[in-house]
């Protein structure tokens, strides 16, 4: 497994990470243990979760903590705060305030069964709390040894710039990572967030790298998705599909056939090859998917292949 720099943190994370959003939702405790064991066996050292994953009581954090057990110190453990399960307004009220953060970190530490978090990420920007206050609260956690590094998620380029300026002015620790939606079918962050992050030595952590399975190769346009898949449980995956997206998937599969690569290899290999990407966060529901994702990341596309894939998917 290749290791890549996590921004300016000094940490090196596996090119493919394990996204733990399915724990407690689509994966029970036994399934979670099997997935975590497979990830560790494959050399994955980066595990990403959030306090809102798995249900209202942080079940995903609890299941992940139990599954890691005595091997917790072998991994780089990332979690998030400041989100809520409301699609219209996913940012928790006051989710960036010092009081909220003080409560949230203690809850996450308890559920994860650890005394420190390697990467603590602000899940959604809090419009009601100045970013200076959020950073000072996070800086205090680093001083206390409860958090090693801090990151953000779903921040815009302007918000990331503002946070960097606030960190310099207040002389606090700054974000080392930015977790945003990024895939071959969703490349809008390349216009502004990526250049901003590169200028600040902030690593990009893509979520939904396979667009909830659309880029995995297991779905076919016009066919009913298997009942045990996300699309099968979520009514066909309409939030991730469109005529244009299916057409692009078809073009990528056709190109993959010419070079002897699967759609999964193209989707993950292309992302892992981007110099600004620290780790591709891929969620799974079965151990065999962990192995498939790791194998896909082992493919390192050449310049000509990268250029062709880029041309097929450029916005």
Taking only the tens place, the pLDDT of each residue in 294-310 is 999 999 999 999 999 99
Instruction: For residue 121, give both structure tokens.
Output: 């990420």
Residue at 230 is within a domain: no
Taking only the tens place, the pLDDT of each residue in 146-160 is 999 999 999 999 999
Q: What is the mean pLDDT of residues 75-96?
A: 94
Residue at 233 is within a domain: no
Q: How confident is the model at residue 11 (pLDDT cuts 50, 70, 90)?
A: very high
What's the number of domains the chain is made of?
Answer: 1
Residue at 226 is within a domain: no
Residue at 227 is within a domain: no
Find, among 167, 106, 102, 89, the residue nearest to 132 by Cα.
167
Residue at 124 is within a domain: yes
pLDDT at 237: 56
Task: Evaluate the CA torsion angle 168, 169, 170, 171 in order and state its sign.
Answer: positive
Residue at 221 is within a domain: no
Least confident of 106-115, 228-237, 244-253: 228-237
Catalytic residue among 53, 120, 182, 219: 53
Q: What is the pTM of this model?
A: 0.94
Q: How far apart are CA 166 and CA 185, in angstroms?
A: 33
Any catalytic annotation for residue 53? Answer: yes
Residue at 275 is within a domain: yes
Tokens 């998937």 — which residue? 249
Taking only the tens place, the pLDDT of each residue in 171-220 is 999 999 999 999 999 999 999 999 999 999 999 999 999 998 899 877 67
Least confident of 26-35, 98-107, 240-249: 240-249
Element of type H or E holding 46: strand 46-48
Residue at 240 is within a domain: no
Q: Give the CATH number, domain containing residue 82.
A: 3.20.20.100
DSSP letter at 202 equals: P
Range of the domain at 118: 3-213+264-300
Taking only the tens place, the pLDDT of each residue in 43-59 is 999 999 999 999 889 99
């Amino acid at each position: 497994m290749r290791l890549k720099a996590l921004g300016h943190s000094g940490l090196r994370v596996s090119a493919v990470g394990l996204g733990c959003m399915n724990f407690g939702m689509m994966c029970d405790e036994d399934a979670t243990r099997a997935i975590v064991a497979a990830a560790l066996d494959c050399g994955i050292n980066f595990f990403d979760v959030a306090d809102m994953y798995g249900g209202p009581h942080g079940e995903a954090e609890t299941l992940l903590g139990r599954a890691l057990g005595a091997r917790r110190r072998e991994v780089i453990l990332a979690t998030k705060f400041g989100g809520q399960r409301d699609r219209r307004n996913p940012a928790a009220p006051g989710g960036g305030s010092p009081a909220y953060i003080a409560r949230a970190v203690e809850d996450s530490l308890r559920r994860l069964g650890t005394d420190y978090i390697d990467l603590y990420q602000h899940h959604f920007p809090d419009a009601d709390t100045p970013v200076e206050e959020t950073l000072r609260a996070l800086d205090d956690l680093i001083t206390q040894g409860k958090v090693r590094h801090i990151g953000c998620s779903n921040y815009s380029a302007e918000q990331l710039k503002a946070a960097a300026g606030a960190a310099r002015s207040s002389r606090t620790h700054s974000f080392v990572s930015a977790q945003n939606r990024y895939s071959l079918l969703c490349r809008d962050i390349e216009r502004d967030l990526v250049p901003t992050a590169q200028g600040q030595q902030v690593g990009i952590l893509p979520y939904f790298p396979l667009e909830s399975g659309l880029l995995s190769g297991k779905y076919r346009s016009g066919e009913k998705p298997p009942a045990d898949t996300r699309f099968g449980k979520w009514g066909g995956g309409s939030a991730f599909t469109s005529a244009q997206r299916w057409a692009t998937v078809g073009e990528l599969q056709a190109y993959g056939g010419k070079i002897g690569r699967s759609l999964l290899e193209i989707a993950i290999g292309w992302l892992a090859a981007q110099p600004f990407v620290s780790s591709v966060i891929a969620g799974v529901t079965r151990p065999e998917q962990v192995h498939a994702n790791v194998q896909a990341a082992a493919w390192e596309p050449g310049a000509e292949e990268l250029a062709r894939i880029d041309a097929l998917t450029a916005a």
